Amino acid sequence: MLAKLKLVIFVAVVTVGIAYAARAQDLGPGFHKIKDGIYTFAPDQLTTTCSFVITEAGVVMIDACNSPLDSRRMADAIKKVTDKPIMFLIDTETHSDHTGNHFIFSPPATVINAQGAADGMKKEYNPKRAETLAAKSPEMREALKGEKMIPPHIEYKDRMTINLGERTFELIYLKNAHSFADTAVWMPKERVLFASSAANVRTFINLRPTVVLPDVIASFKLMKSLNPEVVIAGHGEPTSTTIFDEYEGFYNLLMKRVGEMAAQGKSLDEIKKELKMPEYADWQGQDRLSVNIDAAWKVVKK
Ligand SMILES: [Zn+2]
């Protein structure tokens, strides 16, 4: 009798397992299953990555995806995997390619980011965004229904822990790393790190004037010290801590070169014309070298 019961349980567990795996494959192109119940959606190398994590008590999302069409795909994917509601939506930064589509998930989701996020979003809000996007296609227009800016409901300072169901999410504020408020999300038991856009995958980052390179490098060291197994950057495919080493190497070499040229008496404009980074010729976004030189110049001239 006991053996029979064990067999029934075994069959049930295997069946549920197969159903779960099959569903993961059905989510569509750009979706990755990172670990059980942890999924990311990275449509391509440059487009914003967004993710969702299933817990016994509901879903946690990290970033709200780039276009409203991506966000609708994300919402459909979540429904395929679970019928639980989205409880929290954590922003890793303030820019609209991560935050512009909160309205698709909230309500029910409570939106969270670090202190200064709401002010940052309001400062950068483009009232023409919806109109410009809607002109792209009828599908996009449809996906934009209900569009409005939703600033984070909750802002934390320095650190915050969310315990939901069986999972723990540690939110870590990254100072001057990328936008007006940047958050890394660390899942210690699963060793999965959502790393924000301080480092991406082999792409020159559009560094804003608020970015301070030594703070960026400090954020790499902090994130690396967590010893994550999987790193999900703000843009690009799931990766590892290699990206922190790559970007630290890139910024250090850039600051060294800018420093040497400044010491020779060259102006910022001259440096921008002459400085090359051939070691990184295969990185995407080469037209952003200029703003990277600006960031290095600020450090050198301090
Ligand atoms: Zn950004």
Q: Is position 10 within any domain?
A: no
Q: Is position 127 within any domain?
A: yes
Which residue reads 């914003």 in tokens?
48
* Structural domain boundaries enclosing 277: 25-300
Identify the pLDDT of residue 260.
Answer: 96
Sequence-ordered list of residues with C-beta below 8 angstroms from that of 41, at least 6 positions apart, any chain: 27, 30, 31, 32, 49, 50, 51, 65, 70, 73, 74, 77
Is 50 exceeded by the pLDDT of residue 171? yes
Task: Place 42 in a pLDDT band, splitting at 50, 70 and 90.
Answer: confident
Closest CA to 275 of 287, 295, 293, 291: 293
Identify the pLDDT of residue 18.
Answer: 44
Tell me, in angstroms, the distance from the centre of ligand 1 to residue 182's CA. 9
Q: pLDDT digit string (tens) for 219-231?
A: 999 999 999 999 9
CB-proximal residues (5 Å) to ion ligand 1: 93, 95, 197
Q: Is position 260 within any domain?
A: yes
Q: Is position 95 within any domain?
A: yes
Tell me, in angstroms, the distance from the centre of ligand 1 to residue 179's CA. 6
Average pLDDT over residues 104-131: 95
Q: Is position 177 within any domain?
A: yes
Closest CA to 162 of 191, 137, 189, 185: 185
Average pLDDT over residues 284-301: 95
Is 80 exceeded by the pLDDT of residue 298? yes
> On the CB side of 295, how many CA atoms lie within 13 Å of its CA?
27
Q: Is position 291 within any domain?
A: yes
Amino acid at 194: F
Tell me, in angstroms, the distance from the centre of ligand 1 to residue 224's CA. 21
Q: pLDDT digit string (tens) for 56-87?
A: 999 999 999 999 999 999 999 999 999 999 99
Q: Write out the two tokens for 111.
A: 């939106």
Task: Place 26 in a pLDDT band, splitting at 50, 70 and 90.
Answer: confident
Domains: count for the chain: 1
- Note the pTM of the prediction, 2 decimals: 0.89
Tell me, in angstroms, the distance from the centre of ligand 1 to residue 118's CA. 15
Query: Distance between CA 299 and CA 168 in Å, rounded?
Result: 37
Local structure of residue 286 (DSSP, 8 states): G
Sequence-ordered list of residues with C-beta below 8 angstroms from that of 107, at least 6 positions apart, any chain: none
Q: pLDDT digit string (tens) for 122-170?
A: 999 998 999 999 999 999 999 999 999 999 999 999 999 999 999 999 9
Task: Place 7 in a pLDDT band, splitting at 50, 70 and 90.
Answer: low
The better pLDDT of the pair 173, 12 is held by: 173
Which residue reads 């703000």 in tokens?
234
Task: Place 15 in a pLDDT band, splitting at 50, 70 and 90.
Answer: very low
Tell me, in angstroms, the distance from the centre of ligand 1 to residue 48's CA. 9
Task: Place 3 in a pLDDT band, splitting at 50, 70 and 90.
Answer: low
Tell me, in angstroms, the distance from the centre of ligand 1 to residue 160's CA. 21
Identify the pLDDT of residue 237.
Answer: 87
Average pLDDT, the chain: 91
Q: Write out the two tokens for 294.
A: 């600006």
Query: Distance between CA 94 and CA 148 in Å, rounded?
Result: 15
Task: Place 5 in a pLDDT band, splitting at 50, 70 and 90.
Answer: low
Q: Is position 4 within any domain?
A: no
Query: Any idea what the CATH number is for the domain that residue 295 is in?
Result: 3.60.15.10
Tell me, in angstroms, the distance from the centre of ligand 1 to residue 94's CA. 7
Tell me, in angstroms, the distance from the centre of ligand 1 to residue 178's CA. 6
Is 70 exceeded by the pLDDT of residue 275? yes
Tell me, in angstroms, the distance from the centre of ligand 1 to residue 45's CA. 14
Tell me, in angstroms, the distance from the centre of ligand 1 to residue 221's CA. 20
Tell me, in angstroms, the distance from the centre of ligand 1 to residue 207's CA. 9
Strand arrangement, sheet containing 159-164 = 159-164, 167-174, 182-187, 192-194, 230-232
The percentage of residues in the chain with a pLDDT greater than 90, rounded to a whole number, is 85
Tell me, in angstroms, the distance from the centre of ligand 1 to residue 225's CA. 23
Tell me, in angstroms, the distance from the centre of ligand 1 to residue 197's CA. 6
Query: Distance between CA 173 and CA 180 in Å, rounded?
Result: 11
Q: Is position 239 within any domain?
A: yes
The answer to whether residues 41 and 233 touch, using CB atoms and an 8 Å cutoff, is no
Q: Write out the two tokens for 110.
A: 């409570």
Tell me, in angstroms, the distance from the centre of ligand 1 to residue 102's CA. 15
